[in-house]
Structure 1
Amino acid sequence: MALASQKDFFSGLMFTAVGGAFAWGATTYEVGEGARMGPGYFPLMLGILLVILGIIVTFNSFKAGPPGGDRIGAFAWRPLGFVLGANLAFGALLVGLPALGIPAMGFIVSIYALVLIASMARKGSSLKESLILATLLAIGSYGAFVYLLNLQFPVWPAFLSN
């Protein structure tokens, strides 16, 4: 039986492995039952569903098609680096890293940094559209987390709050 899609095959294996690890990790918590769910019930069920999805995707990768078709391309290092770097910068700016001399810059500045750094993952990204997106995300996030959910964390840098 020839492999029709390398992408689907390896995606299915990844789903199966991650779902299995997730479900196995959930068993360290009390699972309970459907009527009386414990803290491990939802992660266990989610892991099992991910394993089932992974098995289905893996088997579908052998369906009819050209042998070795739908190959996996080159690894996209640029998007990976910028997206991971954007998330790390968001966390570092939100809470600050005093050991490295980075003060807490607050929620709004962290969101702008997140969007601007992550936008560099795409070649030809526009600063104007990134600033518009960052503004919309900052307004929406402020409305959702600070105004509606009433979460308590610094919104602005400490030197602007005083």
Structure 2
Amino acid sequence: MASTIRNTKDFFSGLLFTAIGSAALVLARDYEMGTLLRMGPGYYPSVLAGGLLLVGLICLVRSFRTDGTPIGRLAWKPMLLVVLPIACFGILIRDAGLVPAIVLLVMVSAYASERFSFKATVPLALGMCVFSWLIFIKGLGLPMQLLGPWFGF
């Protein structure tokens, strides 16, 4: 009796979750686990990876049991407009500073939406700058600059 995939979205999501969860479990095995009351450095990554692996397996089983819609065309433009600003944020944070990195991240990522509005995105970017400043610089005391060496600071 041959099994057929009835829900391709669940199938490929399940494969992705299972692969990432399995890889994380393999990477975390070198760390000490510890106990529930005295967790080691490998405890949380292993639990998180196990949960992701479980979700992946559930998605895989569902893909054979429930009907779903087929996968449509891959939306390259929105995907790139979300992924590339994240990479740019990591590159810019040190030399440009927190504010330019966040503004670029929010503005370009928001442009991926079909309902992009410059008028609505500017306050969001500025709000994220203030929020990040409060949390990371004031609250946690991380040594980040609002404006980096590229701006003469």
- The 1-side partners of 2:84 and 2:28 are apart by 29
Residue 82 of structure 2: aligned partner: 83
> Structure 1, unaligned stretches of length 5 or more?
96-103
- The 2-side partners of 1:24 and 1:12 are apart by 18
Q: Deviations over 1:125-159 (max 9, x none)?
A: 11111111101111111111111111111112333
- Is 1:23 the counterpart of 2:14? The answer is no
Deviation (angstroms), 1:56? 1.0
What SS class does the counterpart of residue 92 from structure 2 fall into? helix
Deviation (angstroms), 1:160? 5.3
> Structure 2, unaligned stretches of length 5 or more?
none
RMSD: 1.7
Residue 72 of structure 2: aligned partner: 73
**Contact 2:5 2:64 (C-alpha < 8 Å) held by counterparts:** yes
- The 2-side partners of 1:46 and 1:88 are apart by 24
Residue 105 of structure 1: aligned partner: 96
**Contact 2:7 2:66 (C-alpha < 8 Å) held by counterparts:** no
- The 2-side partners of 1:86 and 1:2 are apart by 38
- The 1-side partners of 2:19 and 2:87 are apart by 25
- The 2-side partners of 1:21 and 1:89 are apart by 26
| Equivalent residue in structure 1 for 2:119, among 128, 131, 134 | 128
Size of the alignment, in residue pairs? 150
TM-score for the superposition, normalised by structure 2: 0.89
